[in-house]
Amino acid sequence: MTSLNTDDVRTEALFVSYLQRSQQPTPELIRAAVTATVDRLGERGCAALVAQEFGEHPDCAQGRMQWARTAVRLAYAA
């Protein structure tokens, strides 16, 4: 991951991970899910699944993406 798109990759990985907002995951769980998802799917695989979800379920995908972006920012805050 490059520093220019690290947050984007992490957000996409969280978006396609098994974690759900309703689980109220801790920062540690978020970081673990991101790492596991990127390891399993790769950066391009995560991006492809995000695109698929936005194509198939745009109404749900937008809310999940907003949650994922906020959760990643909090989990990886310095």
* Residue 59 reports pLDDT greater than 80: yes
* The model's pTM: 0.91
Domain ranges across the chain: 6-75
Give the chain's end-to-end CA distance (angstroms, integer).
17
**Residue-wise pLDDT tens digits, 18-56:** 999 999 999 999 999 999 999 999 999 999 999 999 999
* pLDDT for the residue numbered 2: 47
* Residue 11 reports pLDDT greater than 70: yes
Average pLDDT score over the chain: 93
Q: How many whole angstroms separate alpha carbon 41 and alpha carbon 67? A: 20
DSSP of 20-49, one letter per residue? -GGG---HHHHHHHHHHHHHHHHHHHHHHH
Q: How many whole angstroms separate alpha carbon 55 and alpha carbon 53? A: 5
